């Protein structure tokens, strides 16, 4: 019954595990990320406004429910870094604040919460905030015999409000940096070499993540991801901004007249 947030058992409305796999000369490298709704009890009642108000429910239950959600993640993936890329003001800011407050009650030192709105021209600043965690995060690496040479022991969990648009931009940035790290480890890239140095690889990487974001968005919202042009081309375009307007109107229609209480 929960379209937003989390249920009393710690299961969020929208949750996706993403595994990025690279193969080269018999080696296989894998990197896993997850995305999921803000794990608080909250809702948005459809009322024909473009952005219905966020309503937080049972705040006294927030620490317990959030703990259950992250306990499940830690059992599956190890330590968790929660990257919360909602706006820091208005209704989204209140959700971000309450998420941060509740996260203080999560036991142990294997959980961290980072909150900050994504500015597309400053994604590197966000990456700098989480780079130490990612270096300790590791990734799965198998040799040609299928023997494990490295193992991923942590996971990054990213969310915005829908876990679609800003989340995909952020996860594609993390995936790009991790792929570059893996290629350096295998001796394919030099120390300062990047995906951007190889136009064909760069284009294919962007297309892969843009299509991935669109597929998840279509399943959840009925339209391709907003801001997909940034992922697909590396910058915002006039066509992309106009298409975002069309898709936003379609989402409004679906939310109010088609989806019901989905």
Domain boundaries defined on the chain: 15-196
Q: Give the number of other CB atoms < 10 A from CB of residue 177.
A: 19
pLDDT at 107: 45
Question: Would you say 139 and 182 are in contact if contact means Cβ atoms under 8 Å apart?
Answer: yes
pLDDT at 110: 45
pLDDT at 253: 85
The C-alpha angle 44, 91, 221, rounded to 5 degrees, equals 45
pLDDT at 119: 62
pLDDT at 210: 94
pLDDT at 262: 54
Given the DSSP bridges, would you call strands 27-36 and 140-142 parallel, antiparallel or unpaired?
antiparallel
Question: Would you say 188 and 24 are in contact if contact means Cβ atoms under 8 Å apart?
Answer: yes
pLDDT at 234: 83
pTM above 0.85, yes or no: yes
Question: Would you say 226 and 259 are in contact if contact means Cβ atoms under 8 Å apart?
Answer: no
Q: How far is CA 131 from CA 5, 125, 147, 173, 258, in A?
A: 27, 10, 27, 12, 42
Q: From the centroid of its chain, how far is CA 213?
A: 10
pLDDT 10s digit of each residue in the chain, 262 long? 446 889 989 999 899 999 999 999 999 999 999 999 999 988 877 777 767 788 888 888 888 899 999 999 999 999 999 888 888 778 888 888 888 887 765 544 444 555 555 566 677 788 888 888 988 889 999 999 999 999 999 999 999 888 888 899 999 999 999 999 999 999 999 998 999 999 999 999 999 999 999 999 998 888 888 888 888 888 888 998 999 899 889 888 887 777 765 5
Share of the chain above pLDDT 90, in %: 44
Token representation of residue 74: 């830690």
Query: 151 burial class (0-12, 13-18, 19+ CB within 10 angstroms)?
Result: exposed
What is the C-alpha to C-alpha distance for residues 173 and 213, in angstroms, rounded to an integer?
13
């Amino acid at each position: 019954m929960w379209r937003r947030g989390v249920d009393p058992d710690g299961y969020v409305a929208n949750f996706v595990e993403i595994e990025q796999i690279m193969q080269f000369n018999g080696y296989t490298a894998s990197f896993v990320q997850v995305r999921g709704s803000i794990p608080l009890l909250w809702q948005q009642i459809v009322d024909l406004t473009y952005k219905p108000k966020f309503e937080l429910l049972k705040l006294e239950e927030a620490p317990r429910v959030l703990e259950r959600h992250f306990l499940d993640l830690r059992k599956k993936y190890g330590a968790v870094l929660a990257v919360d890329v909602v706006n820091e003001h208005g209704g989204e800011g209140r959700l971000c604040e309450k998420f941060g407050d509740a996260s203080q009650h999560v036991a142990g030192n294997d959980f961290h919460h980072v909150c900050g709105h994504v500015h597309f021209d400053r994604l590197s600043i966000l990456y700098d905030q989480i780079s130490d965690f990612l270096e300790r995060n590791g990734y799965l690496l198998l040799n040609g015999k299928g023997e494990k040479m490295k193992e991923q022991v942590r996971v990054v969990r990213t969310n915005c409000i829908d876990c679609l648009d800003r989340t995909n931009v952020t996860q594609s940035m993390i995936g790009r940096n991790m792929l570059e790290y893996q290629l350096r480890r295998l001796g394919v890239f030099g120390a300062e070499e990047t995906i951007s140095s190889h136009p064909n690889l760069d284009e294919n990487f962007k297309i892969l993540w843009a299509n991935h974001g669109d597929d998840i968005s279509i399943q959840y919202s009925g339209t391709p991801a907003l801001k997909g042009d940034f992922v697909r081309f590396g910058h915002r375009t006039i066509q992309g901004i106009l298409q975002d307007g069309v898709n936003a109107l379609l989402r409004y229609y679906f939310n109010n007249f088609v989806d019901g209480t989905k």
